[in-house]
Chains A and B, each alone.
Chain A
Amino acid sequence: MSWLACELHTHTFHSDGKQSLSELAAGAKALGFDCIALTDHNTMTGLAGKEEVERENGISIIPGMEWTTFFGHMVTIGLDRYVDWRPVGPGDIHAGLAKVHEQGGIAGMAHPFRPGSPMCTGCYWEFEVSDWNDIDYIEVWSTTFAPVKNNNARAYRFWTDRLNEGYRLAATSGRDWHHQEPTDEPLSVTYLRLEDNDAPLRDRAIQALSSGRATVTLGPRLDLEISREGTTYGIGDVIPGLPESGQTFDQEHVSAVQLSAVQSSFVQVLATADFSVRSGHWELPEQTFTLKLDSNQGVLFEGSLLRDLPQITAEVPAEELKWLRAELWGIIHGVRTLIAFTNAVYFE
Chain B
Amino acid sequence: MKTYLIDVQGQVTPCCSRSHIAYRFFLPRPGGKLCVDFAYGPKNLEDREKAKTLIEESVGLYVEEEFQEQAKARWESHLPLKNLITVSVDAPDGHRGAAHRHDPEQHLVISRDEASPGLEHGELFKGLWEVTLSVHAIVTDGCAYSLQIWQEEGDA
Contacts and interface: CB of A to CB of B under 8 A. Distances in A.
Contacts of A115: 58-59, 62-63, 71
Interface string B18-54: 1010000000000000000000000001000000001
A180 interface: no
Contacts of B58: 115-119
B102 A16 contact: yes
Contacts of A42: 86, 88, 97-98, 100
B132 interface: yes
A86 B100 contact: no
> Main SS of chain A's interface residues?
loop
A191 interface: no
Contacts of A113: 62
A86 B137 contact: no
Given A42-B98, A43-B97, A14 B17 contact: no
Interface in B113-156: 115, 117-120, 132, 134, 136-137, 139
B139 to A, nearest CB: 5
B35 to A, nearest CB: 17
A15 B115 contact: no
Contact of B98 (A12, A43, A70, A117): A43
Nearest to B67: A150
Contact of A119 (B18, B55, B64, B136): B55
A86 B88 contact: yes
Contacts of A292: none
A45 B115 contact: yes
Given A15-B101, A16-B101, A117-B137, A43 B84 contact: no
Contact of B136 (A44, A46, A122): A122
A38 to B, nearest CB: 13
A84 interface: yes
A256 to B, nearest CB: 53
A21 B62 CA distance: 33
- Give the interface size class of chain B: 35 or more
A346 interface: no
B62 A70 contact: no
Given A42-B86, A84-B95, A117-B58, A14 B118 contact: yes
A118 B98 CA distance: 21
A117 B59 CA distance: 10
Contacts of B97: 42-45, 82
B74 to A, nearest CB: 11
A45 B120 contact: yes
A184 B102 CA distance: 27
A154 interface: yes
A43 B100 contact: yes
Which of the four size classes fits the interface of chain A? 20 to 34
A118 B137 CA distance: 6
Contacts of A43: 97-100, 118-119
A121 B84 contact: yes
B90 to A, nearest CB: 9
Interface in A64-101: 68, 70-71, 82, 84, 86
Contacts of B98: 15, 41-43
Contacts of B120: 45
Interface string A303-346: 00000000000000000000000000000000000000000000
A132 interface: no
Contacts of B62: 113, 115-116, 124
B117 A13 contact: yes
Contacts of A117: 17-18, 58, 136-137
A46 B116 CA distance: 11
A150 B67 CA distance: 8
Nearest to A17: B101
A119 B84 CA distance: 11
Nearest to A125: B62
B117 A119 contact: no
Interface in A1-48: 12-16, 40-46
26 contacts: A15-B98, A15-B100, A15-B101, A16-B101, A41-B98, A42-B86, A42-B97, A42-B100, A43-B100, A44-B97, A45-B97, A45-B117, A45-B120, A46-B117, A68-B136, A70-B17, A82-B97, A113-B62, A115-B62, A117-B58, A117-B137, A118-B45, A118-B137, A119-B81, A121-B84, A150-B64
Q: Which 9 residue pairs spanning A and B have beta carbons closest together?
A: A70-B18, A41-B100, A115-B62, A121-B136, A42-B98, A16-B101, A121-B137, A43-B97, A43-B118
Given A13-B117, A46-B118, A119-B78, 5 more contacts: A14-B117, A16-B102, A45-B120, A70-B134, A86-B20
